[in-house]
Amino acid sequence: MNHTNSTINLTAVARELEAQGPTAVLRWAIETYGDGLAVATGFGPEGIVNLRLVSQIDAAVHVFFIETGLLFPETYALRRQLQARLGLTITAVYPELDPAQQAAQYGPDLWRDNPDLCCFLRKVAPLRRHLAGKKAWVTGIRRDQTPARAGAQVVAWDEVNGLVKINPLANWTSAQVWEHIRQHDLPVNPLHRQGYPSIGCRPCTRAVRPGEDPRAGRWAGFVKTECGLHLNYEL
């Protein structure tokens, strides 16, 4: 199948797929959008679950990650493991400026001086460029991750990027995600076992202390919980 957005009632589709589970959501997305579908991953637990499910349906689906140039070595190693294990090709999408060029133009510590601008340059802008020719994209967001994600539907229109957004795990809990990983013995980032429940770029990620929110290690010291990929984000 290959529909246009004008022929699909996304609200009705979301209502129908909500109780069917992530495999049904992904199968619908792949059958509906074909080559126009892009599966995003940041190599977190949710993304790993999505990648396994996608590989079971069609391992040729386009999968990508935003290569900020500032990821942990463990994250790059995990990419290689997942490609080998699942038979996927995980494409790197780059910002216009590499870290050295950004430092020359904006200063060496933009991540600390203006983290919103840094995230925009290294994540949001390359994502928007990459999605410009696509019809739909898949993410790993869940409703209970942050207040900004509480209203996420399994299928919805993405006003910011101008395409359909697929959130197969929107109604899953963290416990369900980790149980799926255990059941299928999937590789994960070893930093999770070292107190890093949420892992982004090296300069903006620290281990979480006992009793802290799982995302407290992201942009510590700033009133910031999102990089902007899932927000109406303009600078």
Q: Which residues are catalytic?
A: 227
Query: Whats the size of the chain, residue-wise?
Result: 235
Task: Copy the structure tokens of residue 54.
Answer: 């996608």
- Residue 123 has what DSSP assignment? I
Six-digit token string for 4: 């246009």
Please answer whether residues 41 and 10 qualify as being in contact, where contact means their C-beta atoms are separated by less than 8 angstroms: no
Radius of gyration of the chain (CA): 17
Tokens standing for 28? 């619908």
Cross-strand pairs, 201: 71
Contact 181, 188 (CB under 8 A): yes
Q: What is the DSSP string of 152-206?
A: --SEEEETTTTEEEE-TTTT--HHHHHHHHHHTT----GGGGGT-SS--BGGGB-
In which element (H, E) is residue 137 found?
Answer: strand 136-138
> What is the separation of C-alpha 109 from the centre of its chain, rounded to a whole number of angstroms?
24
